[in-house]
Chain A
Amino acid sequence: MSVIYVDNAATTPVSGEVLAAMTPYFTEVYGNPSSIFYSVGEAAREALDAARERTAKALNAEPGEIFFTSCGTEADNWAVKGTARRMAARGKKHLITSAIEHHAILHAMEALEKEGFEVTYLPVDAEGFVNPADVEAAIRPDTALVSVMMANNEIGTIEPVAEIAEICRRKGVLCHTDAVQAVGAIPVDVKALGVDMLSLSAHKFNGPKGVGALYIRRGVNPVVFMDGGAQERGRRAGTENLAGIVGLSVALERAVNGLDEKAKKLAAMRDAVLDHIAAMPKVKINGPLDRAKRLPNNVNASFEAAEGESLLLMLDMKGICASSGSACASGSLDPSHVLLAIGLPHEIAHCSLRISFGVQNTMDDARGVHGAGRDRAESARAQPALE
């Protein structure tokens, strides 16, 4: 049985090209980039600098504004906690975020609440959009940071981050965005967005796991998160994961080059499945109906009376790897906070299925998914499910 992997919002395979670019940095150029007084170290330093330039260029940033981290979660934690702690010294102890952020942001915020910070969690509408006017209304004189994700990982909503950043700039509040799902799927230009900080993660765009980056606009200075050596200009200690960093930069460059064409290909697969699902009975599409405001690779729908984990297991029997926001599938007892935030009742949230395409998928995969999806949703309902 062939496998159709359509859970690219969870992670993506490392492309052959990226792997080839990384390999020499495990065995040949193994020097420590901080040990620059001999050739192996110097070569490593050069590779690190080149990777930083490549990364900066892809985001329209300056190389000095790119800081490599161990993952997207670390970048989010650094931006949120580092900024909160910096601004607390100036008496600013209020943070604003949305109800549908990734746990990397939400749980960092909750940790700060325990330290005495106050957090406003902005609601979203039924399609998952944050209203910029709500951001403006929530900003107070003691607001330290606004952090709203660029695109939602579950339902694909593309948030109006440029508008939110503009409000923040006008109000003199720092603005961060978690762009982990956006990078490689939609254009991400830090200058056009106008954000102060932006997180990304390599493994979401066919790079390796274990490496991410935080863009920090020049002049912005979140408190150091990892203490130690002088790596990353003294702001993020720890010997650089050079092979990973090279992998991130090459994968990012590849993802950004010809993005329009890739996005079109992804959107064609997404639309084939969305159109198919929309025509099925007892189905609700979750996320934006305006497809221009939805990640080009994201499909999310609830199949009434077909519990999400059961759907996943049935799809797995057909070789299809997807995801669900049901409590059972998440390993917790509550369904996805995102699906609850867009107003789905628990019983519908438990029946959700997410399909996320990647550049390695083909239209045949999309056809395989909707064929199996229909059969499986029917049998999940028809077999033991309660009507």
Chain B
Amino acid sequence: MATASVAASLPFCLLLSPRLFRGRRAVRWPRPIRASASSNASDVAGGERKLGALESRVGDLRALVASVPPAVASIQKSISPNFVAGFCVGIAFLAAAARQVIIRSRDHDNRGSVADLVRRGQLKSGQRGTAKLRTYDDPFNNSLVKIDEGTSTAQMFGKEYRLAPVRLTKEQQEMHQKRRSRAYQWKRPTVFLREGDSLPPDVDPDTVRWIPANHPFAAASSEVDEETAKQNVYQKDGVPSRVKAEHEALQARLEASNAVTKLPSDPRSMQHNERPMRSSGKPSENLQSSKFDNQGRQVSIESGKHSSDGSSQSNGPEGQ
């Protein structure tokens, strides 16, 4: 606000003549005029001087007032109506453009995204999944829940509810079970086969669940057999089987390449074999890159799996 007023007053000051400007400065603070007469002669002379000074200041003020209309007229002459109209149109255009920019920036603010939720205060940034645990109290008996056993009412969150007893009896429950057992004759499938595959000879057709090709379970083939998969699930410590197998395969390749490089004495062939040696010089790195390309940030966690002591960076209770 202050800067605006300075900006507005500055051109007006420049238009004034130096004299007027000086006079304007001089008439800053009006002095008080004494209305009472004084008996002292020096006081009379001083009063005359003051009166003269006051008259000169009033004259300056009159000159200032007289000079203002020509200044305004000069401004009006210098600014044509076309200029004013153009200026207004320009301001309106700028305002419309600014409004459009603001609306677009709001639209591009990822509405419905996590960022938008954070902006609206529904989601606290960086605090997702973390909660200050509530101190525990009995959910049946606390300050928010009051049960009046005499009147069969319950008061909860300030509202009062009527309690109705459950009417289901054991007989009714068994009756429903019989009804369902008659209505739904079902045997849980134990074998999943992809639609279009042939039925194996030793499989009961009633135990087969046919899976469409686009189902998440419909993998083309499994690299591990059932027994290995079961062992993998039951494995409590040590290196996981596939990681171990890959490591052993790389180790075997490294040993094989070392054996090959030891045999020839020709330096050319040594140079030829240099590249495979380099590539196989760090088996652990190769192992990680081959297996954990799609794991991203989990490489550090995965690397813990290679330790056979079971003290990996586990998230689980067994690794604690």
Mutual binders A and B: no
B: residues with CB less than 8 A from A are: none
A: residues with CB less than 8 A from B are: none
